[in-house]
Amino acid sequence: MHFSNNLKAIETCKDCEMQSEGFFCQLSEEALQSLESIKLTNIYPKGAVLFLEGQSPRGVYMLCRGRVKLSICSADGKMLILRISEPGEMLGLSAVVSDRLYKATAETLETCQVNFIRKDDFLNFLQKHGEVCFRVAQHLSQNYHTAYVQIRSLGLSHSALEKLARLLIDWCEGSGTRTEQGIRLKLGLTHEEIAKMIGTSRETVSRLFSELKGKETIHLKGSTLLVRNMAALQAMTN
C-alpha cells in the first residue's frame, strides 16, 4: 500500500512537463494523495478557452503539457496578449484565492493537458495543507514579478524594436536551447500575436524581423527562431 501511494505521488509530478520542479512536486505524500482525489485531468485542443476575462472563477488550472495564451481585451475590441504560460504554471490562481473575477482570458495555443481543481476543493486543500500555501505565495510572487517586467518593458522601451528585442531575450532566457549556432527557440506565435504582446502592428513586427534577419542577428525558418547574436539584441535594449 505504501509503495502504491508513492507511485501516485511520483506520477502526479511526472505527468506534467513542468519547468524546474513543478508546483506540487515537493509536497508531502499526504498532500499529494489529497491532490489526486480532487484534480480532474483533461486534454484540450488548440484554440480552446479555459476561462474568460470577467468570468467568475470556477477553479484553478494546472498546465501540464502545451502552452496557453493569456490576454485582455478593451471595450472596443483591442487585444493585448499578457504572456504565454508554459507547463508547470497555475492559471486562475489569483482569482480563486482573492475570490475575484478572472482578469484575463486563457486560450490554448496547441493541444494541452490540464489538471483542473474546483474552487471550493482547492480552498479546502489550502486550509488542510499549510505547506501548499507557501507554494501558492511563491507562485503569486512570480506572477507579480512577471507583470512588473512586462510593464517595465512596455512602459520604458523607446521603440517597437526595443520591445521586440526584450521579448526575444526573455524567451531565450526562459525556454531557449543553446546550440553552437546560437540560441534556438520554437516560435509558436504569429506576427499578429507578437504584435499584440508588444503593442504594435503586424506590419511593424514583420519589418523588424526582416531587419534583424538582414543584420544576421536572427535566423527564422518556419516556426524555428535562431538568435545568432545575443549581444546585438541586448544592445538594442540599453
Where exactly are the structural domains of the chain?
2-154, 158-236
Alpha helices in the chain (DSSP H): 2-14, 29-38, 93-98, 119-128, 130-156, 160-175, 191-198, 202-214, 230-236
**Bridge partners, residue 63, by sequence:** 114
Question: Domain 158-236: which topology?
Answer: Arc Repressor Mutant, subunit A (1.10.10)
Fold match, 2-154 / 158-236: no
Q: How many CB atoms lie within 10 A of CB 152?
A: 11
CA dihedral 23, 26, 28, 33 (to 10 degrees): 50
End-to-end CA distance of the chain: 58
C-alpha cell at 78: 483591442
41-96 pLDDT per residue, tens: 999 999 999 999 999 999 999 999 999 999 998 888 788 888 888 888 899 999 99
CB neighbour class for 86 (10 Å; exposed up to 12, middle 13-18, buried from 19): middle
Buried b (16+ CB within 10 A) or exposed e, 89-114: bbbbbbbbbeeeebebbbbbbeebbb
CA dihedral 70, 71, 72, 75 (to 10 degrees): -140
Asked which of 30-34, 68-72, 116-120, 231-235 is least confident by mean pLDDT, the reply is 30-34
Q: Which CATH class is domain 2-154?
A: mainly beta
Residue 59: left if φ>0, alpha if ψ -120 to 50, beta else—which one? left
C-alpha cell at 148: 512588473
119-153 pLDDT per residue, tens: 999 999 998 888 888 888 877 877 777 776 767 66
Q: Which residue has the higher pLDDT, 108 or 79?
A: 108
Give the separation between CA 122 and CA 73, rounded to whole angstroms. Answer: 28
Average pLDDT over the chain reads 84
Give the separation between CA 209 and CA 225, rounded to whole angstroms. Answer: 10
Give the separation between CA 21 and CA 189, rounded to whole angstroms. Answer: 26
